[in-house]
Amino acid sequence: MKKARFIAGGRSLNGQLSNGKLIDAAGVAHTPDDVQFLLPVEPPKVIALALNYNDHAGELGLSQPKEPALFWKPNTTLLPHRGSVIYPRGAEFMHYEVELGVIIGRDARRVKAHDAMDYVGGYTIGNDLVVRDYVTNTFRPPMRGKGWDTFGPLGPYYVTADEIADPHDLKLTAHVNGELRQEGSTRDMIFSIPELIEHISRFMTLQKDDVILTGTPKGISHVRPGDVMTLEVEGLGTLINDIVEEDEDAEPIQGKESKEGEWDGR
């Protein structure tokens, strides 16, 4: 089932996709292009993963981590399908990252890998946007690079786990202005979904509706105001967001601040 939260006729509604229409709880059909999408879920927290694809680590000149490299994606980054991403003034290198988002279906604590998929409620598409100017040793974990408002689009749908036969064999693509920029498959993830759930739930409770962003393959490139990002994960739909310039009154960022010898990565 593909579920969505959206606004139509001035009302906030829940519905599911059927034959190309969103059917709300009252049985009324809505055309997806005519509604305002909301986030597919309101996550208590979003945990993201760096360097979970060897080819992405390679394009950054980094080696595979020995254990999952985790960081927070603040809830203030979250943005629904068709929302506008704000490009920070002064940014030198900002890029998208298409990712499989795993939605936790029930609270999980100290879950073993062999049981972990029982705790998955479903999946969505995530875009882990980054200002790479700030991704240096000085700013670890990379909150300053990845934590800007609007830098975490999710959606458009909450696709229930039963809809996806194998989440470890899904094609991922990112187009910018119609041009293919990024392509990969979840089969190339270094740490699998069960391994991630076991690792994270060992030291924190994963709550219902938490989202785990599972990393991105190679293919990052700079995006600018006016660009439109179209991200797809096989079976999950298409997440589209445009980029707009930050308000002229905003203080511009100062660009790269790494020093010689620092690890400039993820």
Q: What's the mean pLDDT when you consider all of the chain? A: 91
The arithmetic mean of pLDDT across residues 109-135, rounded, is 95
Are 97 and 4 in a shared domain? Answer: no
Are 238 and 168 in a shared domain? Answer: yes
Q: Check: CB of residue 173 under 8 Å from CB of residue 237.
A: no
Are 209 and 197 in a shared domain? Answer: yes
Residue 258 falls inside a structural domain: no
The enclosing H or E element of 184 equals: strand 179-185
pLDDT score of 257 more than 60:
no
Residue 262 falls inside a structural domain: no
Are 235 and 135 in a shared domain? Answer: yes
pLDDT digits (tens, 9 = 90+) for 83-113: 999 999 999 999 999 999 999 999 999 999 9
pLDDT digits (tens, 9 = 90+) for 143-184: 888 999 999 999 999 999 999 999 999 999 999 999 999 999
Confidence at residue 88, expressed as pLDDT on a 0 to 100 scale: 95
Instruction: For residue 70, name the pLDDT band (cuts at 50, 70, 90).
Output: very high
Are 144 and 32 in a shared domain? Answer: no
- CATH number of domain containing 29: 2.30.30.370
Are 44 and 34 in a shared domain? Answer: no
Supply angle C-alpha 74, 77, 78, rounded to 5: 105
pLDDT digits (tens, 9 = 90+) for 203-256: 999 999 999 999 999 999 999 999 999 999 999 999 999 999 998 776 776 644
- CATH number of domain containing 65: 3.90.850.10
Instruction: For residue 142, name the pLDDT band (cuts at 50, 70, 90).
Output: confident
Residue 229 falls inside a structural domain: yes
Residue 254 falls inside a structural domain: no
Confidence at residue 250, expressed as pLDDT on a 0 to 100 scale: 67
pLDDT score of 63 more than 70:
no
Instruction: For residue 137, name the pLDDT band (cuts at 50, 70, 90).
Output: low
Separation in Å, CA 136 to CA 37, 51, 240, 256: 35, 14, 29, 9
Are 26 and 116 in a shared domain? Answer: no
Are 10 and 56 in a shared domain? Answer: no
Are 145 and 197 in a shared domain? Answer: yes
Instruction: For residue 57, name the pLDDT band (cuts at 50, 70, 90).
Output: low
Are 64 and 85 in a shared domain? Answer: yes
Are 117 and 19 in a shared domain? Answer: no
Residue type, 46: V
Residue 109 falls inside a structural domain: yes
Helices and strands of the chain, counted as H and E runs: 3, 19
Are 56 and 28 in a shared domain? Answer: no
Both tokens of residue 130?
């980054």
Residue 251 falls inside a structural domain: no
Tally of domains in the chain:
2
The enclosing H or E element of 165 equals: none
DSSP reduced 3-state for 159: strand
What domain range is 64 assigned to?
Answer: 39-245
Residue 199 falls inside a structural domain: yes
Residue 192 falls inside a structural domain: yes
pTM, to two decimals: 0.91
Which long-range contacts link 115-120 to residues 24+ away (Cβ below 8 Å)?
116/193, 116/194, 116/195, 116/197, 116/198, 116/201, 117/161, 117/193, 117/194, 119/197, 119/206, 120/161, 120/167, 120/193, 120/197
